Structure 1
Amino acid sequence: MTPREYVDLFRERWRAILAGLLLGIAVAVGIVQTSTPLYAAKVTLFVSAGTSTDPSAALDRNQLSAQRMQTYVQLITSDRVASDVVQSLQLPMTGPELAGRIAASSEPDTVLLDATVSDEDPVLAATIANTLADQFISAVDDLEQPSGVIPSEAVVSARVFEEAVPPAEPNWPQPVLTIAIGALLGLLAGFALAVLRRALGTSITSRRLLADAVTAPVLGVIARRRRSAKDPLVVRDATRGSRAEAFRQLRTNLQFVDVDRALKVVMLTSPSPGDGTTTVLANLALTMAEAGQRVLVVEADLRRPRAADMFGVQRTYGLSNVLARRAKAHDVVQHGEGGVDVLPSGPIPPNPGQLLASPRMVELLDELRPAYDAILLDTSPVLPVADATVLAPLADGVVLVVRAGTRAHRVEAAREALGAVSARLVGTVLVGLRSRSARGDQRYAAATPATQRVLAAPPAAATATAAPQVPQVPPARQVPPARQVPPARQVPPAPQALPAAPRPAHSVPATTNGNANVWRPSPVPRTPAPGERRRV
């Protein structure tokens, strides 16, 4: 993995990594709190060859002593020497138990032997270490001194170089070292769990994982918003927000996803309920209407419809009546928020799948195509019911809405279900992704008060002191004197009228709805005069 992939992994699975780190620290703290303090006393022994008048013999004996140092390390930790210590001190333990508390070591190319004894009592630890040294010296004398040889002529001898003293501080536990090791092990365990979960592909947590699971382009990424459930129409309520710009980007990507084939009838669906299909469809419809397109939203979810409520229209009569041949389409289409026409679901029928699969649905779409630039179908989820797979072949394109955290196997199952009916999956939309750059996008997308003051007209005092001859603004950037706005959002003065955007014959006039820079249609239908556009 590259460093960038590690950073992405941390952003995606930071909860698992943090949980592993905290768990490791908690385990280390528990070990420190519950462990009994142990004190370590060390005694150092010097092992040498016996004296001799022959220099060459003395050299051989010194070499022999150095080669046997590892044997002496095993000897001083043996059960025999430990049993002798237990008998000498009358300790309440056995020889093997004491041997487990003894650690010995020897530095290479030296004849110094270190023996360390651990015990809960520091004084007893030092006493055991010194007694251990005495017993080891006795054992070396018995093993290395041949019979009939005087002690001065012994081959190898050992003596105490540094006696053990009672330690002042315990050797175990070491809080700082133990907690650091626990934190490191917990962090590694958290990363290992994150890598394992990504390798198994348990959920969709990034744009790349969604593209790999569906093998279709990701048309848009909608960041998570806490208040989106209360005000789902973010394009209407926050026209300059980062989420509103994300929906506009989705509209643009959808328009250019296939330039050779126009997408007039687009169906939006999702793998599971609650993925946000209706919210994405409603905001996408508003952005299309904002761009001057004639948009119709068809509430084809005949089980749990929600689109009509978002656009503020009644569903007393609607799609179910049209499919049952009890009403005409033009009689039940209503004007909704933002200049979007809505064909509500109507009464919920007992057989939604059969109605949607009837030939009347094909005829209805053929009737609606000439009257609108875009027709958006809001349908049921793919996996629970078969309604979406019935409508998918009738649409020019299908957009799959996936909520971040959805299991990858469910997304793949939805893709396979759409592919089984030869549906044209043009792309996906990732909803609810946590974005660290959302605040920065919001500041960039929204004009700050300071920016608005710079773009506004100069104050009267400044114009009074200016030169009589006012320089002319270049024609390409000329704005009305009443109020200056950016060239891309140029607004004429109040006495003049803006040319009306193309709308269907039954469209309604536009009002400001409390925002001086955003034009929205009035809920009261009437036929506007040519070129009329009223501001409040």
Structure 2
Amino acid sequence: MDLSDYLRILRRNWMLIVASTMLGLLVAGATSALSKPKYTAQAELFVAIQGTGSIQELQQGNTFSQARVQSYVKTVDSPVVLQPAIDSLGLSISAEELATRVKATTDANTVLIGISAVDNSSVQAAAIAQAVADSLIRAVDNLEKPKTGGSSPVSLSVITPAKAPSYPSAPNTRLNILLGLFLGLGAGLAASMLRATLDNRIRGESDLRRVTDAPLLGGISFDQDATKKPLLTQAAPQSPRAESFRQLRTNLQFANVSGRAKSVLVTSSVPTEGKSTTATNLAIALAQAGQSVCLVDADLRRPMINEYLGLDRSAGLTTALVGVADLNDLLQPWGDDSLYVLASGQIPPNPSELLGSPEMRHLIDRLEHAFDVVVIDAPPLLPVTDAAVLSQHVGGVVLVVGCQRLRQQDLEKSLGALEMVGSNVLGVVLNRLPAKGPDAYSYGYYSHDDSSSPRSSVDALSTSSRLSQPFDSDHRAVNVAVGPHLEERPASIFPGERIDRT
């Protein structure tokens, strides 16, 4: 990963990092507030060697005292020193307990001994430090006294008496808060990296590129209102959602610059990725650009287009495939543009067989001859084989990827299934993208309606490829004008003779 990947991880997990940091500060503050204050008092002793005072004796005495200081420091923890201090203060603790609260230190090449004591009371801490210092002086005097009698050659004296401290030595609130800050921040960063390593869901274009190099046709931001108003016509013309579908329409035209893919299959890897809404709104956007469009609901397991458009699905695709009714009677016009819808019809027990039948291929061919674009909504790829079978009959496939829902391995399986049957994958659409953040998708410089949006290239392509006249059952042109600005299209898109399915 490069620097941009790390920055993207931080932006994705900024809430986790902030929460972890705040938790660290809270724990540090609570620990400091709930801890009892402790005071530390210190007394300092000087070790001297008694002699005549000559230079040679002073040098020898200084070397001797430095060598003995370390032994005196270790003696402080012994009962020989601590028990007399306990008795003098009347403490109700043992020498072992007092040893945990008393500490003796010395600096190298010096004859100074520091004795510190810790207690919940500042006065008691000073009293303990002073009592231990006095007890050490007496203990060293007894230990160093010659057995033959006489005074000890070593003399310890107090140079800094212990005083009651004004401020507690613990807890150190400032230090605790700093430690809590850095520990919380470090934990948040570690959790973010671990989450990024374990989470293999597709969240944006960067994750998509780890799986495939297929063209990204567009990105559709997540809109809470889209659950109640899923259609493009229900959104404001200048809204990012409306602009995203116009951008998808434009990119799809350039992905199909040769014009061979007149039928486009829209599918996804798993359910609830938004393929049906994408197919419906893509068809609406293409019709708004002046093209004649047929939207086919080929999801024969869970049809949704009729619910979005408010149409009847009792008769539709399955009705035409089994020959119960003619296609002319099944196409339903929708909206003010040249958009016709072929609903799913009754749900059959054998969807895969119907979608892979010669009748289905023949139906698609007839629709391609009559319309500029045929948009087909197909079932997801992974649960069933319907979409893979149907993809062999269409000009191109658009794969919808639901961000935050689909895992990378599932996308790999879907692309592998399409590649196995030789499908022409035109590109990928990222759906449910966040509106802001590192994974937001940019819609370009324009955010106004179609009347002034940069779609001239789309209109030119659609005008040059649009069939201005439908065809009858023998593929002969019929003098019926197509387009919202010409005379109204008759009720049957295939006038005259009915379509011969054979």
TM-score by length of 1: 0.75
C-alpha separation between the residues in 2 aligned to 1:368 and 1:4? 47
1:160 aligns with 2:158: yes
The one of 261, 285, 288 aligned to 1:287: 285
Q: Distance in 2 between matches of 1:445 and 1:391?
A: 35
1:267-278 matched pairs, under 5 angstroms? 267-278=265-276
Residue 356 of structure 1, CA deviation: 2.1
Work out the CA distance in 2 between the residues paired with 1:103 and 1:220: 70
Would you say the 8 A contact 2:20–2:187 is kept in 1? yes
1:137-158 Cα offsets, whole Å, 9 max, x none, are 344445666655855633xx44
When the two structures are aligned, how many residues end up with a matched partner? 469
User: 3-state SS of the aligned residue for 1:335?
Assistant: strand
- Match for residue 445 of structure 1 among 433, 438, 447: 447
Is the contact between residue 295 and residue 341 of structure 2 (CA under 8 Å) also seen in structure 1?
A: yes
Amino acid in the other structure paired with 1:374:
V
Q: Is the Cα contact below 8 Å between 1:218 and 1:429 reproduced in 2?
A: yes
- Which runs of structure 2 are paired with 1:181-220 in the superposition (5 Å)? 181-220=179-218
Matches within 5 A, 1:394-405: 394-405=393-404
Determine the C-alpha separation between the residues in 2 that align with 1:161 and 1:522: 112
> 1:300·1:379 contact (CA, 8 Å) conserved in 2?
yes
Q: CA RMSD in A?
A: 3.7
Match of 1:408 in 2: 408
Match of 2:136 in 1: 136
Q: Deviation at 1:261?
A: 7.4
- Flag the 1:96–1:309 CA change in 2: closer, same or farther, 3 A: same
Contact 1:402/1:428 (8 A) holds in 2? yes
**1:28–1:136 Cα change, 3 Å:** same
Deviation of 1:125 (Å) = 1.8
Which is further off, 39-48 or 296-305? 39-48
Residues 351-390 of structure 1: pairs in structure 2 closer than 5 A: 351-390=350-389
Structure 2 CA distance for partners of 1:486 and 1:38, relative to 1, 3 Å = same
Contact 2:292 2:482 in 1 (8 A): no
What SS does the aligned partner of 1:281 have? helix
Separation (CA, whole Å) in 1 of partners of 2:30 and 2:110? 41
Counterpart-to-counterpart distance in 1, 2:121 and 2:307: 78
SS of residue in 2 equivalent to 1:184:
helix
Secondary structure of 1:198's partner?
A: helix
Indicate the residue corresponding to 1:322 in structure 2: 320
Measured in 2, the distance between the counterparts of 1:119 and 1:420 equals: 78
The 1:98–1:230 alpha-carbon spacing in structure 2 relative to 1, beyond 3 Å, is same
CA distance in 2, matches of 1:145, 1:394: 110
Question: Against the structure 1 CA distance between its residues 203 and 488, is the aligned structure 2 distance closer, same or farther, given a 3 Å change threshold?
Answer: closer
Judge conservation of contact 1:294–1:504 (CA < 8 Å) in 2.
no
Aligned to 1:95: 95
Q: Specify the code of the residue in structure 2 equivalent to 1:179.
A: I
Q: Does 1:28 align with 2:32?
A: no
Amino acid in structure 2 at the alignment position of 1:189: A
- Partner of residue 473, structure 2: none
Q: CA deviation at 1:208?
A: 0.2
- Relative to 1, partners in 2 of residues 1:440 and 1:81: Cα closer, same or farther, differing over 3 Å? farther
Per-residue CA deviations over 1:18-68 (Å, capped at 9, x if unaligned) read 332233233223323432332222333334555553424433543555566
What is the SS of the residue equivalent to 1:213?
coil
* Partners of 1:299 and 1:345 within 8 A in 2: yes
Structure 1 residue 299: Cα displacement: 0.8
Residues 37 and 342 from structure 1, CA distance in 2 versus in 1: closer, same or farther, beyond 3 angstroms?
same
**Contact between 1:83 and 1:96, CA under 8 Å: does it hold in 2?**
no
For residues 170-189 of structure 1, what are the structure 2 equivalents within 5 Å?
Answer: 170-189=168-187
Higher relative contact order (CA 8 A, sep 6+): 2
TM-score normalised by L of structure 2? 0.80
CA 1:487–1:212: 2 relative to 1, 3 Å:
closer
Give me the identity figure in percent: 37
User: How has the CA–CA distance of structure 1 residues 132 and 324 changed in structure 2, closer, same or farther, with 3 Å as cutoff?
Assistant: farther
State the alpha-carbon separation in 2 of the partners of residues 382 and 178 from structure 1: 55
- 1:489-517 deviation line (CA, Å, top 9, x unaligned): 99xxxxxxxxxx97665788759xxxxxx
Of the three residues 208, 227, 230, the one matched with 1:229 is 227
- The residue that corresponds to 1:257 in the other structure is 255
Give 2:474's aligned residue: none
**Partner SS, residue 42 of structure 2:** strand
Name the residue aligned to 1:468. Answer: none
Unaligned runs of 5+ in 2: 457-465, 471-479, 494-502
Q: Is the 8 A contact 1:299 1:378 kept in 2?
A: yes
* Alpha-carbon distance in 2 for matches of 1:69, 1:339: 102
| Whole-angstrom CA distance in 1 between matches of 2:271 and 2:394 | 21
